[in-house]
Structure 1
Amino acid sequence: MNSITRLVACLVIALAFTTVQAQETKVDSTKTSANHLKIESLKDLKINIENEERDFLKSEIAAINQRLDDGKITAAEAENLKKEAAKNRALNIENRLAIIDNKIELLKRNDDTYSVEDGEEYGYVLRIGSGEEDKESFVYFGEKSNDKPRKYDRRTTTNVVFALGFNNALIEGQSLSDSPYKIANSDFYELGYAWKTRIFEDSNFWRLKYGFSFQWNKFEMKDNNYLVNTDGEISLQEFPSDLNKSKFRTTNLVFPMHIEFGPSKKIEKDNYFRYSTHKKLKVGLGGYAGLNIGSMQKLKYKDDGDRIKNKQRGGYEVNEFVYGLSGYVALGEIALYVKYDLNPIFKNQVVDQNNISVGIRFDMD
């Protein structure tokens, strides 16, 4: 019995040893598999780095060739610039690949409790431990590359448009001083977005400016008057009680286009050039067309001691199609701005009246 007992004990010990060894092998296999995926990803990143730097070099050489074709540099200067660009890109590849190689060595040497996060090309995020109590520390090895070459020539620029000023109406047979709308209290606002494109290849004197804008044209009536729609005909009539305020507003969505002209300064760098109109005289002439998207009359008055505020939207037979002429003159960042609607404000009105606005415009660069 003693020999049988010893035999059974030996078998149990051997089985336990085999199980432990299998578990350790499984753990090693899991570790190798997890880190292997990260290593393969980093190897792919090395290929991307090489391709990226080569693309950058192609862009730089294209810019140098453009300068050579334009006669801005000699053939010898172009050759030296190309050699310098090639040298810099080769060093970039060497340095960036060395960082990735270091990441790969870290992954090969350590298990999953010590990992390098992908996505930080120039730094390592090291995680120690496992579960919710993992601690992370960042070891910094340099800045991430944002070394994209500038576009050699940018013919189109963009601006936000904002304008404000006085608004009124030119009425057939009347001067502006005889307008039924208060000059000081009637105003306009404009907010939009504009593109400006250089028309000619080698000159920035002529530019095309175009975009879209929302325009709010406001009128405040004189002499206790307000607008009345009588069977589709719009006229000004006296309000039956004392008005504290009587205002009318139209809202338009328009698409302006101007020919802008004026001098500019050419700024030339090694890999790009730009034209600047900063602090230069700029003149824009053109027009706009669009749609009326709303109208409202607001009246404030007292009725039996109660303050009444009455807002009426629509119903004023405003012309749906809006079109007109506009222009500006700028010296610096602010322009004097004028716009005039060629369409009458209302479809049917006793006397034709057209909206006119004078103010300042902010979108000059």
Structure 2
Amino acid sequence: MKSLITLSTALAIWICSTGFIQAQKNTDWTKNEIEKLNILKENAVKIEKEALKSKIENINKKVSEGSVSETEAENLKKAAAEKHALNIDNRIAIFDNQLALIDRNGMDSTKITGTAIVFGWGQEDVDNDLIFGVKVRKGSRGTVKKYDRRTTSDGYIAVGFNNVATSGESLEDSDFKVAGSRFAELGWTWKTRVFDNSNWLRVRYGLAFQFNGLKPTDNRLFVDTGEQTELQTYPLDLKKSKFRMDNLVIPIHFEFGPSKKIEHENYFRYATRNQFKFGIGGYGGINLGARQKLKFEEDGENQKQKLKADYNTNNFIYGLSTYIGWGATSIYAKYDLNTIFKNNAVDQRNVSLGLRLDLE
């Protein structure tokens, strides 16, 4: 009997303490929500003021261009000021009402973002469904769009043919197979508008991995002789001989091209989809490593070899690149200014041509 009473007492204490902890969490959550709402309210006012400032600047620009008279400009400015003043009043009223709900009820389920799991131990909400139970709440948080987003980001992928520009030789005399030598590039870039009221010039910068492959002709492979790296004939019949160099680079381009300005009541954006674009710039970075892959038959059995070595390749990579295209697709070319190998008697530089796809 005593053990039963003790067990009941312990259970009651545990329920009460758990309920207290949950109540404390709810209080902390409520304070958090109040702080966030106050910040959102301040941001909403700032956005409306920025929108008004931008409209006034556009009106002044039209006056200086002669497309709008001084009288018309004053009327437009007055109408814009009245509109944004009302917007500010309405936005503040919305946030104040939400704050009043939280202050009155302790929790405002309309402010939960996405899906939240709420545990109830020894307590109940307005629907009486949190006593020793679990409730899943769904809702959405109204976010205020930034009036002018000057910088955007996206990924890109480029693939195509790769080869070597050798001093004193043309690509027709190349030591590497044209169709078999290929490159790939994967990157992520940020694009920033240069001018306040125009998007015809953007700076594009980011981080990318380059994979440059070369397939030698005439049954040859690269050999590090200690002094330099040269192509030598392999004693067995090679089914495959491929040399690859991997780089990590920072690409930087100036991108030119038209864009479409899309204006909404509280924000605007410049869209470059389905538009002509031209980019010119370069890249710089480091060589992550070089390797060769060989396939051949020996004693009637197929053999594979993967050789990883320094091969006297340059540690630092830098070059020029450009692209021209429409929408997300462009023709892409790049040229290494650094030589592939450090001490070779003849300078050899990597050159690539292919297609680039922006993952907008």
| TM-score, normalised via structure 2 length | 0.78
2:229/2:311 contact within 8 Å kept: yes
Q: Which amino acid aligns with 1:86?
A: D
Distance change (3 Å), C-alpha of 1:247 and 1:202: same
Task: Give the aligned partner of residue 76 of structure 1.
Answer: 79
RMSD over aligned Cα atoms: 3.1
Residue 233 of structure 2 is aligned to residue 238 of structure 1: yes
- Residues 317, 336 of structure 2: 8 Å contact kept: yes
**1:280-303 CA-partner distances (Å, limit 9, x unpaired):** 111001111111110001111122
Q: How many residue pairs align between the two structures?
A: 318
* Pairing 1:87–2:82 present: no
Kindly provide the CA deviation profile for residues 117-151 of structure 1, in whole angstroms up to 9, marking residues without a partner as x: xxxxxx867323xxxxx33456x7x944x222111
Please list every run of 5 or more consecutive structure 2 residues that lacks an aligned counterpart in the other structure: 1-8, 60-75, 108-119
Q: Please, which of 197, 200, 208 is the counterpart of residue 202 of structure 1? A: 197
- The equivalent of 1:261 in structure 2 is 256
Secondary structure of the residue aligned to 2:178 is: coil
SS in 1 for 2:154: strand
Q: How does 1:119-158 map to 2 (within 5 A)?
A: 126-128=129-131, 134-136=132-134, 143-144=139-140, 146-158=141-153
Amino acid at match of 2:245: T
- Using the TM superposition, give the Cα deviation of residue 92 of structure 1 relative to its aligned residue in structure 2, in angstroms: 4.5
Pairing partner for 1:274 from 256, 269, 278: 269
* Structure 1 residues 168 and 50: CA distance shift in structure 2, 3 A: closer
Is residue 2:64 matched to residue 1:61?
A: no
Q: Is the 8 A contact 1:115 1:127 kept in 2?
A: yes
Residues 212-251 of structure 1 mapped to structure 2, 5 A cutoff: 212-251=207-246
Post-superposition shift, 1:96?
5.5
Instruction: Please state how far the C-alpha of 1:54 moved relative to its aligned partner.
Output: 3.1
SS of structure 2 residue aligned to 1:307: strand
**% identical equivalent positions:** 39
Q: 1:160 aligns with which of 141, 155, 164?
A: 155
Equivalent in the alignment of 1:359: 354
How far apart, CA to CA, are the structure 1 residues paired with 2:189 and 2:128? 44
Compared with structure 1, are the counterparts of its residues 39 and 197 closer, same or farther at alpha carbon in structure 2 (3 Å cutoff)? closer
1:245-324 correspondence runs (5 A): 245-324=240-319
Label 1:39 to 1:143 Cα distance change in 2 as closer, same or farther (>3 A): closer
User: Aligned equivalents of 1:43 and 1:315: distance in 2?
Assistant: 60
Q: Which whole-Å CA distance do the structure 2 matches of 1:246 and 1:234 have between them?
A: 15
CA positional deviation for 1:60: 3.7
Gaps of 5+ in 1: 1-22, 105-110, 117-122, 129-133
Q: Which amino acid aligns with 1:277?
A: T
Provide TM-score, normalisation by structure 1. Answer: 0.77
Q: Distance in 1 between matches of 2:347 and 2:33?
A: 73
3-state SS of 1:70 partner: helix
Cα pair 1:64 1:78 within 8 Å, conserved:
no
Could you give the per-residue CA deviations for residues 307-344 of structure 1, whole angstroms, max 9, x where no partner exists? 22111111311111211110000211111000011111
Shift in alpha-carbon separation, 1:40–1:338, aligned structure 2, 3 A: closer
CA–CA separation in structure 2 for the residues paired with 1:313 and 1:42: 55
State the one-letter code of the partner of 1:282. K
Q: 1:361 to 1:268 in 2, by over 3 A?
A: same
Q: Secondary structure at the match of 1:222?
A: coil
Q: 1:256 to 1:99 in 2, by over 3 A?
A: closer
Match of 2:349, as an amino acid?
Answer: N
After superposition, the Cα gap between the structure-2 partners of 1:155 and 1:99, relative to the gap in structure 1 and judged at 3 Å, is closer
Q: What is the rounded CA distance, in whole Å, between the counterparts of 2:294 and 2:33 in structure 1? A: 71
Alpha-carbon separation, structure 1, partners of 2:79 and 2:289: 64
